[in-house]
Amino acid sequence: MTTCSIVVVVVVVVVVVVVVVVVVVVVVVVVVVVVVVVVVVVVVVVVVGVVVVVVVAVVVVEEEVVVVVVVVVVVVVVVVVHLAPRTEVSSVRTYENVVPSENSAIVADAGRVSFATEAFLDQRRSVGFAAEDGHTYCVAPVASRVSRTAEVNFWAVGVDCCSLQGHFECSIQAQRAGSGLAW
């Protein structure tokens, strides 16, 4: 190997390393920005709610303060409670075209899973558990039309939407849902 070819190899390696480092830095920055935006949105909602409570409490006559403050606090809590799950779902890892016969450990960090078209809910093997709390907890295996195995890697779940065996309606279009959220 000549000195010139060694220099070319070293330059190529350095360029590849620099490109990889830049890509990693960009990905980290994007993740940090998304997290910061979510935190800022939640903080802004809470701060606006507190400011509204204080302003309303100062303006309103003493007898009505308690009622108005309670109403405003309830509104703020409802907004925050309903905002938080949306930000959680929008920032989770998504896997698409998942084959039900794959090992579920591959998508263990998933927050959202979309199955391949071969996937279906196997109603015949669905079961429900009638608990003492009055609810029926339901599960149905996500199976593959292509690979018929007894092993189940993915499950669809729900509450009060099935019979004790063989009937699962935990989605409006349970048979064609094709995707779900992991909580």
pLDDT tens, position by position, 137-154: 988 888 888 887 778 888
- Among 42, 59, 90, identify where a domain stops: 90
**Tens digit of pLDDT for each residue in 5-23?**
676 666 666 666 666 666 6
H or E, element range at 65: helix 62-90
**Do 55 and 123 fall within a single domain?**
no
Q: What is the pTM of this model?
A: 0.47
Per residue in 97-133, pLDDT (tens digit) is 988 888 888 888 887 888 888 888 888 888 888 889 9
Average pLDDT rounded to a whole number, residues 90-103: 82
Domain boundary among 90, 114, 133: 90
Q: Clarify whether residues 51 and 115 are in a common domain.
A: no
Domain assignment of residue 31, given as a range = 3-90
Q: Which helix (H) or strand (E) holds 110?
A: strand 110-115
Whether residues 175 and 116 share a domain: the answer is: yes
- Same domain assignment for residues 99 and 172: yes
Q: Are 100 and 65 in the same domain? A: no
Q: Which of 90, 123, 145 is a domain's end point?
A: 90
Question: What are 47-85's pLDDT values in tens digits?
Answer: 666 666 655 555 555 555 555 555 666 666 666 666 665
Q: Given this model, what pLDDT does residue 183 score?
A: 43
| Count of structural domains, the chain | 2
The pLDDT, as a whole number, for residue 82 is 63
Q: Is the pLDDT of residue 178 over 70?
A: no
Alpha-carbon distances, residue 101 vs 46, 47, 98, 105, 175 (angstroms): 44, 48, 9, 12, 17
Of 100, 91, 97, 86, nearest to 148 by C-alpha is 100
